[in-house]
């Protein structure tokens, strides 16, 4: 009899869960607010700056300050399992899996949890690897209607800062392709398409991720569409040239548009010119060249990124990352790598369409006005 009661209780809970999940009114854009935070540690698949103390700084006396530097990242709140275990994870367009640290998710606290037995492993640009196992469970976003069942994600064997990867399925760490967050929301009828737009807002301010939609008040000019470059290794588009200081630097190569990376990576010729303009001090970590520079930079001079059909501009002041009295140039160098990270993305409104395999770009407008359309 006790076994029957336990079984009926479980059936009742599952019925309630399924009923609860049907509250969503139909496919429509879903806005997730991003929280800006400083975190210590390796936070994304492309995050690379200031993780360890620096041994090769080319200026005496700076090592202690730099090694204590913290990373700027954009966080999203999620709730896992039947017990709605809260976790805050870094948003990352450079990877495709959701993974959470060990302490953030206890499978024993959710009757819906399932251990797939499939190993989870994701590598980092600095050589670190996070390992664990894939689970499936209930995932809830910031409103009661946005619930996904049997959602697949990684649970790390260690603690740290988790990551919400929202690139396309072909970037997943799993050997078995599955519907990650954008595709799962589309398949569940929550959003109209496996797509999203990204608005990071001004430096140190909060932005948002708009799934299945575009806010037409957050950019100027045309939201210009480009095909995702197959050779970029992810969500990247081709840069035609970078223009500044009266010079045009032809690139004609793809760059990832990766919100999980604080800085960016550009080619050697461009970085050499920037060194002269910004009077940089170079230091190295894990083969990457970083630049310290003066915090005082002009707002009337720009770096212009030409994508062929439109241009995204950053002032010299925009291209510098501030932390108290230490400033870092927002671009670094690593051979054969081009990434446009948060420094660039704060000045662009970007719409990623995973179904069409396109990325659309426009110059951002910081505005309190809003006009959200399905896209």
- What is the model's pLDDT at position 64? 29
- What is the model's pLDDT at position 144? 66
Residue 202: count other Cβ atoms within 10 Å of its Cβ: 13
Portion of the chain with pLDDT greater than 90, in percent: 71
- For tokens 């260690």, name the residue: 158
> pLDDT of 224-248, one tens digit each?
999 999 888 899 999 999 999 999 9
Q: What mean pLDDT do residues 14-30 have?
A: 58
- What is the model's pLDDT at position 323? 76
Whether 53 and 139 share a structural domain: yes
DSSP SS3 for 368 = coil
> Whole-angstrom Cα distance, residue 16 to residue 105?
22
Whether 156 and 241 share a structural domain: no
Whether 164 and 231 share a structural domain: no
Residue 34: CATH number of its domain: 2.40.70.10
Q: What mean pLDDT do residues 132-156 have?
A: 92
Whether 271 and 342 share a structural domain: yes
Torsion of CA 235, 240, 244, 245, to 10 degrees: 150
Q: What mean pLDDT do residues 93-118 have?
A: 97
pLDDT surpassing 80 at residue 41: no
Which parts of 188-318 fold into alpha helices (H)? Answer: 268-278
> pLDDT of 149-194, one tens digit each?
999 999 999 998 899 999 999 999 999 999 999 999 999 999 999 9
Decide if 361 is inside a domain: yes
pLDDT surpassing 50 at residue 335: yes
Run of H or E residues at 172:
none
DSSP SS3 for 110 = coil
> pLDDT of 282-300, one tens digit each?
998 878 899 999 999 999 9
pLDDT surpassing 80 at residue 96: yes
> Whole-angstrom Cα distance, residue 189 to residue 264?
35
- What is the model's pLDDT at position 322? 85
> Whole-angstrom Cα distance, residue 261 to residue 89?
14
Whether 181 and 292 share a structural domain: no
Cα dihedral 74, 230, 351, 256 sign: positive
Residues 6+ apart with CB under 8 A from 318: 330, 343, 346, 347
Q: What mean pLDDT do residues 295-316 have?
A: 98
- What is the model's pLDDT at position 65? 33
**Residue 129 binned pLDDT confidence (cut-offs 50, 70, 90):** confident
- What is the model's pLDDT at position 159? 92
Q: What mean pLDDT do residues 18-45 have?
A: 64
Whether 283 and 232 share a structural domain: yes
> Whole-angstrom Cα distance, residue 313 to residue 305?
6
Q: Provide the CB-side half-sphere exposure for 316 (13 A, CA).
A: 17
Whether 54 and 123 share a structural domain: yes
| Phi and psi at residue 184, to the nearest 5° | -65, -40
- What is the model's pLDDT at position 143? 62
Decide if 81 is inside a domain: yes
- What is the model's pLDDT at position 281? 95
- What is the model's pLDDT at position 370? 95
pLDDT surpassing 50 at residue 7: no
CB 323 within 8 A of CB 49: no
- What is the model's pLDDT at position 194? 98
pLDDT surpassing 90 at residue 313: yes
- What is the model's pLDDT at position 278? 97
- What is the model's pLDDT at position 47? 38
Whether 150 and 256 share a structural domain: no
Decide if 206 is inside a domain: no
* Whole-prediction pTM: 0.87
DSSP SS3 for 374 = strand
- What is the model's pLDDT at position 123? 84
DSSP for 244-270, please give it: ETTEEEEEEEEEEE-TT-SSEE--HHH
Whether 222 and 192 share a structural domain: no
- What is the model's pLDDT at position 67? 31
Whether 190 and 230 share a structural domain: no
Both tokens of 78, joined, read 């999620």
**Residue 326 binned pLDDT confidence (cut-offs 50, 70, 90):** confident
Domain of residue 355: give its range.
217-374
pLDDT surpassing 50 at residue 11: no
Portion of the chain with pLDDT greater than 70, in percent: 82
CB 47 within 8 A of CB 262: yes
- What is the model's pLDDT at position 2? 38
Count Cβ atoms within 10 A of the Cβ of residue 62 and give its class: 0-12 exposed, 13-18 middle, 19 or more buried: middle
> Whole-angstrom Cα distance, residue 274 to residue 268?
10
Last-in-domain residue among 163, 196, 229: 196
- What is the model's pLDDT at position 71? 57
In the predicted model, what is the mean pLDDT of the chain? 85
> Whole-angstrom Cα distance, residue 218 to residue 173?
33
Whether 51 and 119 share a structural domain: yes
- For tokens 């957050």, name the residue: 218
Number of domains forming the structure of the chain: 2
pLDDT surpassing 50 at residue 276: yes
The strand pair at 147-156 and 98-100 is best described as parallel
- What is the model's pLDDT at position 355? 97
Q: Provide the CB-side half-sphere exposure for 299 (13 A, CA).
A: 0
> Whole-angstrom Cα distance, residue 121 to residue 361?
32
Greater confidence (87 vs 326) lies with 87
Whether 28 and 111 share a structural domain: yes
- What is the model's pLDDT at position 204? 65
**Residue 145 binned pLDDT confidence (cut-offs 50, 70, 90):** low
- What is the model's pLDDT at position 219? 98
Decide if 205 is inside a domain: no
């Amino acid at each position: 009899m006790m076994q029957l009661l336990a079984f009926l209780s479980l059936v009742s809970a599952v019925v309630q869960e399924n009923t609860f999940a049907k509250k969503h009114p139909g496919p429509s854009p879903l806005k997730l607010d991003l929280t800006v935070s400083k975190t210590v540690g390796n936070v994304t698949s492309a995050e690379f700056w200031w993780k360890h103390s620096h041994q090769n700084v080319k200026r005496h006396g700076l090592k202690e300050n730099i090694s204590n530097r913290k990373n700027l990242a954009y966080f999203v709140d999620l709730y896992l399992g039947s017990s709605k275990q809260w976790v805050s994870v870094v948003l990352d367009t450079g990877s495709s899996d959701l993974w959470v640290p060990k302490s953030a998710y206890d499978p024993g606290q959710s009757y819906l949890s399932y251990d797939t037995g499939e190993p989870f492993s994701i590598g980092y640009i600095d050589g670190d690897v996070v390992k664990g196992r894939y689970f499936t469970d209930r995932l809830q976003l910031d409103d009661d209607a946005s619930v996904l069942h049997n959602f697949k994600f990684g649970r790390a064997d260690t603690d740290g800062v988790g990551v919400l990867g929202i690139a396309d399925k072909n970037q997943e760490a799993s050997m078995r392709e599955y519907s990650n967050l954008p595709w799962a929301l589309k398949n569940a009828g929550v959003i109209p398409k496996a797509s999203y737009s990204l608005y990071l807002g001004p430096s140190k301010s909060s932005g948002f991720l708009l799934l299945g939609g575009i806010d037409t008040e957050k950019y100027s000019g045309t939201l210009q569409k480009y095909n995702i470059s197959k050779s970029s290794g992810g969500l990247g588009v081709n840069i035609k040239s970078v223009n500044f200081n009266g010079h045009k630097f032809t690139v004609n190569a793809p760059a990832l548009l990766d919100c999980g990376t604080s800085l960016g990576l550009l080619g050697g010729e461009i970085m050499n010119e920037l060194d002269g303009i910004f009077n940089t001090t170079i230091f190295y970590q894990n083969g990457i060249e970083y630049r310290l520079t003066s915090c005082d930079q002009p707002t009337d001079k720009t770096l212009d990124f030409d994508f062929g059909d439109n241009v995204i501009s950053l002032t010299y002041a925009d291209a510098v990352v501030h932390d108290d009295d230490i400033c870092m140039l927002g671009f670094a160098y690593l051979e054969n790598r081009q990434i446009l990270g948060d420094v660039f993305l704060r000045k662009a409104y970007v719409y990623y369409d995973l179904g069409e395999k396109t990325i659309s770009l426009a110059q951002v407008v910081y505005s309190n006005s809003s006009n959200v359309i399905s896209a």
